Structures are given as C-alpha cells and as structure tokens.
Amino acid sequence: MRHFLTLRDFTKEEILEIIDLAVIIKKEIKANVFKKYMPNKTLGMIFEKSSTRTRVSFEVGIYQLGGIGLFLSSNDIQLGRGEPIKDTSRVISRMVDMIMIRNDSQKELEEFASYSKVPIINGLTNKFHPVQLMADYLTIVEHNKTENLKVAYVGDGNNMTHSWLMLASKLGFDLSIATPIGYEVDQDILASALEFAKKSGSKIIVTNDPKRAVDGATVVTTDTWVSMGQEDEKETRIKDFNGFIVDKKLMSLASKDAMFLHCLPAYRDYEVSEEIFEEHSETIFSEAENRLHAQKAIMVWLDSKRDC
Ligand code: CP
Ligand code: NVA
C-alpha cells in the first residue's frame, strides 16, 4: 500500500506514470466516458482548513470514478475536540477505502498515515501541497513546455515552494526560487532536493532577487504571501514582500511566451498584478481544472497499488 504524502516518496517514473494516467482520464471524461475505475469505493475527506478547489475536485473526482466522498470538517468530527489522531485514523480507515487530509502539520499527517489501513493523500499541509503540483505539471505537459523547462518561483518559501523543489529535483528540470530575506525555504527540504538533483540533473537556484530567478524562465509561478494560518502576520508580510509582485516588468525578463501559473486563490496586486493574472487566466483556470483530473489519477494509482 502506498500513501501520497509528499513527492519526496515518489520516483520520477512513478510521477510520470500518474501524469500519463491523468492525461488518459481527462481525455475520457472530455469524451463523456465515465469509466468506473473505483466502483463503490469511499473517500473520506478531512478538512482542518478552508478549501474551494481541493474539496470540489476530490468530491467530484471520486464520484466520477464510481465512488463517493464524505466531507469531514475537523470541527464536526471528534478530532476537533481532541480525539487522538491515531484513534481517528484507526476508526475511519476501517470504514473507507481512501482518505484525503488537509491539516496544518505534516508530522501529524504522517502519524495519521502510519496508523491507517488505507492510502492517505495530502490535501495540503504547512510543508507540502503535492496534489497541486501534479495538476501544475499536467498543465505544463498540456502546454508542451516540458522541453528545457525552467521554472521560476517568486514569493514565500512555503508549502508550494517546497513542493516545487520536490517536483523539479525528482523530474530533473531547472528551478529558481526568489524569496524575500527571512522567508527562505526550509533548509532540510532544500538539502533533500539538492541531493535528488544530483541524480536527476536539475539545476536549483535560491536567491533573494526576483529578477535573477525569472531571467529566461519558461514558467513563472507564485503563491499568496499570507498562507492559511498566517493571517496575523499579514501587515508585516505585505511590507516584507515589497518588490516581489509578478507584474509586466518582471514577466518581461522571462523567456518569450513564458507561462504563468498560480495555484489559487490569488490576491491581485499583491503577489501578482491584475494585468498578468488576466493575461494568463486561461492557463490558470486550466491549472485549477487539472486538480480534478490529476487527483483522479492519483486515487486510481493508489487504489491499484493497494490491490496488487
Ligand atoms: N489551490 C488550492 O489548494 O485551493 P483550495 O485552497 O481552494 O483548495
Ligand atoms: N500556501 C497557501 C496555498 C493555498 C492553496 C496556503 O497554505 O494557504
């Protein structure tokens, strides 16, 4: 049995196998072919934090695969009143076939997984957002941008940045990250990425200079400056991130026809200008839609590993 907790646990071949599956599953649904890859299977979806995309895409996804999803807000289940993670895991995993969790702590997610009888999927923690990255890479594949791929990430050194580090270093593409001073990526995650990059050939640059990161990039991406749970730091962060907006001037340093990606929700005129957002909105909303297709592939892949 496999879990989907971080791309750190996946090989290049496995990541690409899931992406290939996502391409097939997307084609099928677009042709109105509802192949029931997971008939009568149940997906528990535990949310400790807000969500639009993750919730809708997982719930619709499992339904399209022939199964059903259960939305479990941590406020409504006993977990929110202090029932231990290991007990919650041992109960729910005896009743459902797969569990997706969005919570704060990656460590607690791992604890949940270690007690589970069924595959666990990370729907975002403070450290990683791997399902988002699968949708992002699917979008890159669909736009034929995989050759000489050079991604520039401008913004906070957060769960999205860490996930980009894992994806780039596993697949072997180049990644430049620009964060303000004091908002750098987790050094242990960076060290792992640099280790994987030795094998894959990925060139990873971390800098405090957005211009250096974006120079020649074929894909530019960013994320909110204020992640969920950091609302109290909003004012300070907005000051500290001055100069890190992805706007026309910064985008002009990227390669011609560079793509712009955003995991959403986007805060216009903070991390991205309204102009750049709208110019790239078609790609951004395809990226959002790809959450559905990529996650269906993740669920089918995990289910297949469970059966064999
Ligand atoms: N990108 C993303 O995970 O969106 P939600 O927070 O709406 O799920
Ligand atoms: N970094 C953001 C991503 C939202 C999808 C957060 O954790 O809130």
Number of domains in the chain: 2
pLDDT of residue 12: 98
CA 262 / ligand 2 centre spacing (Å)? 11
Q: Does residue 277 sit within a domain?
A: yes
Q: Which residues contact 64 (CB under 8 A, 6 or more apart)?
A: 29, 34, 292, 296
pLDDT of residue 45: 98
pLDDT of residue 94: 98
| 150 in the same domain as 92 | no
**Alpha-helical runs (H) found in 31-129:** 53-64, 85-92, 106-114
Asked if residues 120 and 97 have their Cβ atoms less than 8 Å apart, the reply is: no
pLDDT, one tens digit per residue, over 16-64 is 999 999 999 999 999 999 999 999 999 999 999 999 999 999 999 999 9
pLDDT of residue 207: 98
d(Cα 287, Cα 85) in Å, to the nearest integer? 32
CA 57 / ligand 1 centre spacing (Å)? 10
| 66 in the same domain as 40 | yes
| 210 in the same domain as 85 | no
Query: Which helix (H) or strand (E) element contains residue 259?
Result: strand 259-262
pLDDT of residue 227: 98
pLDDT of residue 307: 62
pLDDT of residue 102: 98
| 182 in the same domain as 75 | no
pLDDT of residue 308: 54
* Nearest Cα residue to 225 out of 235, 211, 213: 235
The ligand with the least distance to the CA atom of 132 is 1
| 137 in the same domain as 270 | yes
Closest atom of ligand 1 relative to the 52 alpha carbon: 7
Ligand 2 pocket test: which of 48, 101, 109, 160 has the largest number of ligand atoms within 8 Å of its C-beta?
A: 160
Q: Which stretches does DSSP call E strand in 95-179? A: 98-102, 120-122, 150-154, 174-178
Which residue range forms the structural domain that includes residue 155? 132-287
| 150 in the same domain as 88 | no
Active site residue 129: yes
| 178 in the same domain as 36 | no
ω before 210 within 30° of 0 (cis)? Answer: no
Report the CATH number that the domain containing residue 173 is assigned in CATH: 3.40.50.1370
Asked if residues 13 and 172 have their Cβ atoms less than 8 Å apart, the reply is: no
| 120 in the same domain as 143 | no
Mean pLDDT of the chain: 97
| 75 in the same domain as 106 | yes
pLDDT, one tens digit per residue, over 4-19 is 999 999 999 999 999 9
CB atoms inside a 10 Å sphere around CB 123: 28
Q: Does residue 1 sit within a domain?
A: no
pLDDT of residue 14: 98
Structure token digits, residue 196: 């994987």
Q: Does residue 2 sit within a domain?
A: no
Asked if residues 47 and 74 have their Cβ atoms less than 8 Å apart, the reply is: yes
Task: Flag residues of the chain having pLDDT under 70.
Answer: 307-308
